[in-house]
Amino acid sequence: MLIKSFVTRQEVLTVDPEHTLSEAARGIWERGVGSAVVLSGEGGPGIITERDLLRAVADGADPTSTKVGAYMTSNAVTITVGWHVVDAARTMIERGFRHLIVLDDAGEVVGMVSIRDMVRALLEDKKRTLAG
């Protein structure tokens, strides 16, 4: 099963490195997602996750003034819509990721997949296989 068959098609939550941690956290909370893509125009996309926000709080960072750029992962590991779900899951497990940014063939961000998305997709695929 390829990533393109289940990649989250909703508008991807994006933030700028100059946004505050509070702004990023608010967006993540309101959208009910676990991360946001950070677009800066330099290099590949970055990512800020719930774990990054928790680390910032543990460090004592002021979320209303600390910038996303201080806690984000720059040039995040990305995958393309043509990746197989097993390869994406292996990458997530080996690297300790819970989210991967998905790019189209032109290198544009088209989605985000979480480990939850992949488990759900694999279970649905298995159910179809057993039923069919």
Query: Over the stretch 70-115, which tens digit does the pLDDT of each residue have?
Result: 999 998 999 999 999 889 999 999 999 999 999 998 989 999 999 8
Whether this prediction's pTM lies above 0.85 is answered by yes
CATH class belonging to 3-131:
alpha beta
Q: What average pLDDT score do residues 61-67 get? A: 98
Report the half-sphere exposure of 117 (CA within 13 A, side-chain side): 25
Tens of pLDDT, residue by residue over 26-43, are 999 999 999 999 998 777
Whole-number Cα distances in Å, 97 to 50, 69, 83, 105, 126: 12, 19, 16, 22, 24
Q: Are 99 and 52 in contact (CB under 8 A)?
A: no
Could you tell me the two tokens for 88?
């994406």
Domain ranges of the chain: 3-131
pLDDT of residue 75: 87
Q: Are strands 109-114 and 99-103 parallel, antiparallel or unpaired?
A: antiparallel
CB atoms within 10 A of CB 90: 11
